[in-house]
Amino acid sequence: MRVLVTGGAGYVGSITVRHLIEQGHDVLVLDNLSKGHRQAVDPRARFTVGDIADRPLVAGLLRERGIEGVVHLAAMIEVGLSMTQPVLFFEQNLMGSLALLHTMIECGVHRMVFSSTAAVYGKPECTPITEDHPERPISVYGESKLYFERVLARYHQILGFRYVAVRYFNAAGAWQDLGEDHRPESHVIPRLLQATPEQPFVIFGSDYPTPDGTCVRDYVHVADLAAAHGLALERTAQPGAGVFNLGTGNGHSVQELVACASRIVGRPLAVRHAPRRPGDPAILLASPVRAMETLGWRPRHSALENILKTAWEWRQSHPAGYTG
């Protein structure tokens, strides 16, 4: 299939691009490089620098390249920043996505895989979280993603637009020569692996109702997420729509992360404790049953040790990230 991947120079995007190419797809990447890295784009993909909100540019790419489906990953992702600069998130994640969607429909492209997030659920009423759990996002980031999911649902209902939304939990790990390089880094595992005595890793809260008092999260390897995007793209060949959680159903506490990372690094990692952060649930676990049963997806690379090992190996080979 001829596929456009938006945000294909980013962390999950670049690894998804590589997976799609290795599955035999003809891939075009569109990324404005505000967060992504040109070096992360697989050389076998065609690459255009640009923004999803640039409708003439997107229309030209869709028509000239004969695009049949879109994997949409371009987004602002920093939860904390979304609560101080909400306009950026609604402009990019909602308005930009609407521009992309309308251009697709105008050009006769009616298949999308949308990269969503577990942040649409907010504080869970129960775990593991199924796709039927109430959607009550507590961040602008989660809300911006949920709004666009609702647009897709209406467009499917009224226009027959085919889509799959994948809500992933904690993306982590590295794949081959591709890894995680955000500026600034907001994800827990890279921050842990970068910890120094001068800038220790901060554990927010050690009095949660969990076995060791620290938060428990569901970590899924980025290569497994990439595979899920490929399966979701296949799913859009059929009439219909779907929403799927991507996680393992297994949780690991922050203390477990620290202990496992210390073993892999071969030394104790510098940490310090701080009070809880507002809005952090004690436990967030996915129910991946629907993705497994419907898409045939399996998280094959998501053992915690493998996640941390691949992330550490990538950090060792890219000490300054993609710019080093």
pLDDT at 183: 84
The predicted model gives 135-152 an average pLDDT of 96
Helix residue ranges, H only, the chain: 11-22, 55-64, 79-82, 86-89, 97-106, 140-159, 188-193, 222-235, 254-265, 289-290, 304-317
User: Is pLDDT above 70 for 51?
Assistant: yes
pLDDT at 184: 81
User: Is pLDDT above 70 for 324?
Assistant: no
pLDDT at 146: 98
pLDDT band, very low/low/confident/very high, at 135 (cuts 50, 70, 90): very high
Q: Give the residue extent of every domain in the chain.
A: 2-173+219-247
pLDDT at 279: 76
Lowest mean pLDDT among 111-115, 123-127, 151-155, 182-186: 182-186
Q: What is the tens place of the pLDDT at every residue in 207-222? A: 999 999 999 999 999 9
State the chain's mean pLDDT as an integer: 96
The active-site residue out of 11, 141, 208, 219 is 141
Residue 141 appears among annotated catalytic residues: yes
Give 259 or 79, the one with higher predicted confidence: 259
The whole model's pTM is what? 0.96
pLDDT at 323: 82
Which CATH number describes the domain made up of 2-173+219-247? 3.40.50.720
Element of type H or E holding 46: strand 46-49
